[in-house]
């Protein structure tokens, strides 16, 4: 029920855009995942315009690349904030920077799995996305333990949302492999 309401809301809010692209496969595909707006933004960012056809793996790669860029940015921000922070906050920020760096490495593993494109690809990407999401959530935990305010909470939250979308794309790609071929 919630998915259908979300899709209906997405379609209503996107009416002008939809009339322009006339319900391309991308719109249909993005409409099936957790955050359709985020999906459309990622595709627009990487392609410059919404192409009339794109395969599911290319969309997943775009999402993984967006997550990687967000993690690199988050790592840089964490290290910059650590330079002016108190001792406990500094330690938490440095741990977050390491977690974001590890997430970038996990995205590399996901990309290599997509390149291999074998029977284990979908499972490998799913595992890597879970690990990335857990890394972002672990960053939040670093601040909860000592009771500090988290200057990175919105960044971690956006990474979690992005990984949920990428996981939805991965699942759609694996449950319906002919969707965009």
| Residue 78 near residue 93 (C-beta atoms within 8 A) | yes
Residue-wise pLDDT tens digits, 101-147: 999 999 999 999 988 888 888 899 999 999 999 999 999 998 887 77
Domain range for residue 32? 2-47
Tell me whether residue 22 is in a domain.
Answer: yes
Domain match, 84 and 167 both: yes
The pTM score is 0.76
Q: What is the pLDDT of residue 154?
A: 93
Residues of the chain with pLDDT under 70: 1-29, 41, 43-55, 176-181
Domain match, 7 and 78 both: no
Give the Cα separation of 17 and 23 in Å (integer).
Answer: 9
Tell me whether residue 79 is in a domain.
Answer: yes
Domain match, 116 and 65 both: yes
Q: Which helix (H) or strand (E) holds 29?
A: helix 25-30
Domain match, 135 and 156 both: yes
Tell me whether residue 180 is in a domain.
Answer: no
Tell me whether residue 164 is in a domain.
Answer: yes
Give the Cα separation of 53 and 131 in Å (integer).
Answer: 30
Tell me whether residue 181 is in a domain.
Answer: no
- The structural domain count of the chain equals 2
């Amino acid at each position: 029920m919630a998915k259908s309401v979300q899709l209906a809301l997405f379609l209503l809010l996107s009416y002008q855009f939809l009339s322009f692209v006339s319900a391309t496969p991308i719109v249909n595909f993005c409409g099936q995942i957790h955050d359709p707006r985020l999906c459309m933004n990622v595709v627009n960012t990487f392609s410059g315009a919404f192409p009339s056809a794109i395969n599911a793996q290319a969309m997943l790669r775009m999402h993984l690349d967006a997550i990687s860029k967000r993690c690199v940015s988050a790592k840089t921000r964490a290290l910059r904030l650590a330079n002016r922070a108190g001792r406990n906050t500094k330690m938490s920020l440095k741990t977050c920077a390491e977690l974001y760096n590890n997430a970038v490495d996990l995205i590399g593993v996901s990309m290599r799995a997509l390149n291999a494109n074998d029977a284990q690809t979908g499972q490998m990407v799913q595992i890597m996305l879970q690990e990335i999401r857990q890394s972002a959530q672990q960053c939040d935990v670093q601040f909860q333990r000592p009771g500090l305010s988290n200057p990175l909470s919105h960044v971690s939250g956006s990474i979690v949302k992005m990984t949920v979308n990428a996981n939805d794309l991965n699942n759609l790609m694996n449950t319906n492999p002919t969707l965009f071929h």
